[in-house]
Structure 1
Amino acid sequence: MRVIGVGDNVVDKYVHKQTMYPGGNALNFSVYAKQLGNEAAYLGVFGNDKAASHIIKTLKSLEIDITHCRQHSGENGYAAVDLVDGDRVFIGGNEGGVQKEHPIILTKDDLEYIQTFEIAHSSIYSDMDSELHKIKETKTLLSYDFSSDYTDEKLRDVCKHVDISLLSCGQLSDEEAINLVKQVHSYGSSLVIGTMGSRGAMVYDGDQLYRQEPHFVKPVDTLGAGDSFFTAFILHYIEGKKNKIYESHGELLRESLRKGAEIAAKTCLVDGAFGYGISF
């Protein structure tokens, strides 16, 4: 399968050990997809500092196509992170760095390129919501991660362009999370996934709600668990639907959730989102 992450990249700076790791929601999607055996690309904005150089070097070593990326003078996006009992806590950052000053404007060439992929994935941190309709018009499947920073206005504006929406719902009760994913579906997304940390995840397809318990491990670092969960889920779902592997849509969704939980647990055993740390 050919997949592309379009949007944010950062380095996650672990202040307690002065080590930074490549990351960012859209970039993580590309990396996890590649690790799962798919052909992956990334389209985003880099700075020209040490952080940017490390991300570019890492992506090239992983053989992820970055030929459509932009690079500008300035500081690459970063997030400052601390760890508390293996759980990541964000304590600051530069709000995307050069990406904020030079947001992605998709060209005709970009869109023709994106059209060659089965799915494109972006996020609320990618500063490109005004461009999503262009991706939608290519007919490439579009997924989007709202994290926990959504508002009802944002959901209404974005979901009409997005096929699969992902939301972090750990701060909500089960009832609130269920109501939210159903509401998001009504705004236009055909599949809506809610992740709830140690309470697992759910997916709603407009007909039925499916739940998945987490695969418990003693975490080294939970950073990237949600991103890897979603990547494994959606790629398994697309493959299963395309090849008609399962007898019913419900069985496909349940197996995709299980696959997501399995990969998320493995991610929790790795420092950073997917390793490749260097000192800063």
Structure 2
Amino acid sequence: MRIATVGDNCMDVYHASGKAYPGGNPVNVAVYLNQLGADSAYIGWVGTDTYGNRMIQAIKDKGVDVTHLSQKVGKTAITLVELIDNDRKFGEYDEGVMANFSLTQEELDFIGTHQIVHAGIWGHVERYYPLFKERGIPTSFDFSDQLDHSLVKTLPPFVDYAFFSYTKDDVYIRQLLKDVKRGGSKMAVATLGENGSLAFDGEQFYQCSVVDTDVVDTMGAGDSFIAGFIYGRLQGLAINECLELGTETASKTIRYFGAW
């Protein structure tokens, strides 16, 4: 099973301790997929600073293919993070070299050798999604909690699996998932924090509760859920089983500090 993740990465720098952890949605998803048994590759840019070197080594150490992870002159992206009651609050975000991210023809051809490609809303990859679709590459995209972003309306025709982050199962999120499905996505999925997850396939809604566990740090929970869900789909699992696998994967992530 070969999966490519593309786009943003960042060092999550914790205000209080000054400690920094590698992360970013596509990076995290690649790492979690590898842990599940997939052959994952990450394509992105880091800077020529210390954080860039740390990022490359950390991802490589997790077994992810970094042959198409490039180092560009400048700074690696950083996000300032505060931990409040075991939940992370994001502060200032500096994109660094990722602000000018683009893909080469060789990288696009490399992505084409994978079974699915995943990216997120901060990764500057959305302009390539029509091309992925044209080439017949299945796609996944994390819209995060940006539910009113313009891409929610324009990108679904090119996204097979659309992921969102919300807080509860209500009329609003159900309508959003319906609209995204109607807009062209094969499936629309929302993680709802402590209220579990929800998926819509055009015919019915599927729900899954969270696993009762000790929460140390919620960093990476949504990304690990996405990895579990994608892995399940590629394994041919039913939608409710994919929700369960995503939930189970996320429950392991929140038991320790940092995304991975």
TM-score (norm 1): 0.89
> How many residues get paired?
260
Partner of 2:9: 9
Q: Counterpart amino acid of 1:257? A: L
Superposition pairs of residues 1-280 of structure 1, within 5 angstroms: 1-94=1-94, 96-100=95-99, 102-104=100-102, 106-151=103-148, 153-170=150-167, 174-240=170-236, 252-274=238-260
Gaps of 5+ in 2: none
In structure 1, C-alpha distance between the alignment counterparts of 2:135 and 2:58, rounded to whole Å: 29
* Alpha-carbon shift at residue 173 of structure 1 (Å): 5.7
Q: Name the SS of the counterpart of 1:26 in structure 2.
A: helix
CA RMSD in angstroms comes to: 1.3
Q: Is the 8 A contact 1:111 1:138 kept in 2?
A: no
Q: Is the 8 A contact 2:227 2:246 kept in 1?
A: yes
Q: Is the 8 A contact 2:169 2:192 kept in 1?
A: no
In structure 1, C-alpha distance between the alignment counterparts of 2:46 and 2:75, rounded to whole Å: 8
Q: Counterpart amino acid of 1:258? A: E
Q: Which is bigger in relative contact order (C-alpha 8 A, separation at least 6)? A: 1
In structure 1, C-alpha distance between the alignment counterparts of 2:169 and 2:187, rounded to whole Å: 20
Deviations 1:147-189 (A, max 9, x none): 012426321211111111001122x661111111111111111
Q: Name the SS of the counterpart of 2:207 in structure 1.
A: strand
Deviations 1:196-244 (A, max 9, x none): 1011110100111000111121211000001101110111122125xxx
Q: Counterpart amino acid of 2:54? A: H
* Alpha-carbon shift at residue 262 of structure 1 (Å): 0.9
* Alpha-carbon shift at residue 107 of structure 1 (Å): 2.7
Going from structure 1 to structure 2, the CA distance change for 1:152 and 1:55 (only over 3 Å counts) comes to closer
Partner of 1:246: none
Q: Counterpart amino acid of 1:222? A: T
Q: Name the SS of the counterpart of 1:189 in structure 2.
A: coil
In structure 2, C-alpha distance between the alignment counterparts of 1:150 and 1:262, rounded to whole Å: 25
* Alpha-carbon shift at residue 66 of structure 1 (Å): 1.5
Partner of 1:248: none
Runs of 4+ in 1 over 3 A off after TM superposition: none
* Alpha-carbon shift at residue 63 of structure 1 (Å): 2.4
Q: Is the 8 A contact 2:169 2:195 kept in 1?
A: no
Q: Is the 8 A contact 1:228 1:264 kept in 2?
A: yes
